[in-house]
């Protein structure tokens, strides 16, 4: 007997509305729009086939992000850089340490309103996000672009909430540093006097 797409009740209403969000996530994970489209396609097909494992009315977006990331990681497991997360080892900065943001120290006096971020073109921000290690990038994208709560990000990345906070802290600092340096290089703001954002 031939089944219609409706054989997965609720898929259209609950999963497909997240297409844009999953596409954005896939774009940040992958290296090209073509790869992102392919990733999205596989994500939704897997979700469709596994729809009976999803509890309707729960966190469809997080579930789709989980599938998308798992597909991405599996495809890239051979090319993963294993040195990316070395900064999570003991002795590196994280929440609770180095509270004064070095970028803030740098812009103090030259851009007290911190408007320089607004001057930076989308493409540069996208590139800077893309240059983050995957673990930081995923945390930053899910929190800052998609607004997921820490607990959902933790579940999705299979790490404790504390690790999510730590990755967000480091990812944001790294991103801010790169964007600040770009803003100085482009002349959007003068370099902060005698400051060092490498801390």
Contact residues for other proteins, defined by CB under 8 A = 1-8, 11, 16, 19-20, 22-24, 27, 37, 40-41, 44-45, 48-49, 95-96, 99-101, 103-104, 107-108, 112-115, 117-118, 120, 122, 125-126, 129, 140, 143-146, 149-150, 165, 168-169, 172, 175-176, 179
Q: Could you tell me the smallest distance in angstroms from the CB atom of residue 80 to other proteins? A: 24
* Least distance in angstroms from the C-beta of 73 to other proteins: 21
Distance, CA of 139 to chain centre? 5
What's the CA gap between 82 and 27, in Å, rounded? 21
**Helix (H) / strand (E) containing 192:** none
Nearest alpha carbon to residue 178 among 132, 146, 136: 132
Identify whether the C-beta of residue 157 lies closer than 8 Å to the C-beta of residue 135: yes
Residue (122 or 196) nearer to other proteins, CB: 122
CB 188 within 8 A of CB 119: yes
When the beta carbons of 39 and 134 are compared against other proteins, the nearer one is 39
Of 80 and 98, the one with the shorter C-beta distance to other proteins is: 98
User: Between the CA atoms of 111, 117, 120 and 126, what dihedral angle is there, to the nearest 10 degrees?
Assistant: 150
Judge residue 49's burial from the number of C-beta atoms within 10 Å of its C-beta, 0-12 exposed, 13-18 middle, 19 or more buried: exposed
Q: Which is nearer to other proteins, 69 or 172 (CB)?
A: 172
Q: Is 134 or 142 the residue whose CB approaches other proteins more closely?
A: 142
Nearest distance from C-beta of residue 66 to other proteins, angstroms? 18
* Residue 127 beta carbon to other proteins: minimum distance, rounded to whole angstroms: 11
Minimum separation from the CB atom of position 196 to other proteins (A) = 17
């Amino acid at each position: 007997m031939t089944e219609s797409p409706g054989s997965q009740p609720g898929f259209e209403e609950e999963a497909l509305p997240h297409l844009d969000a999953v596409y954005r996530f896939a774009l940040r994970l992958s290296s090209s729009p073509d790869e992102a489209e392919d990733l999205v396609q596989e994500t939704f097909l897997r979700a469709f086939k596994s729809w009976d494992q999803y509890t309707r009315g729960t966190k469809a977006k997080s579930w789709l992000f989980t599938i998308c990331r798992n597909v991405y990681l599996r495809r890239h497991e051979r090319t993963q850089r294993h040195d990316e997360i070395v900064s999570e080892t003991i002795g590196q900065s994280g929440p609770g340490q180095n509270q004064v943001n070095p970028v803030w120290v740098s812009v103090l006096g030259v851009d007290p309103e911190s408007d320089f971020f607004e001057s930076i073109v989308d493409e540069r921000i996208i590139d800077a996000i893309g240059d983050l290690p995957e673990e930081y990038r995923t945390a930053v994208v899910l929190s800052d672009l998609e607004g997921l709560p820490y607990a959902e990000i933790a579940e999705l990345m299979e790490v404790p909430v504390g690790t999510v906070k730590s990755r967000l802290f480091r990812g944001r600092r790294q991103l801010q540093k790169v964007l600040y340096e770009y803003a100085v290089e482009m002349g959007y703001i003068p370099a902060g006097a005698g400051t060092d954002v490498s801390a």
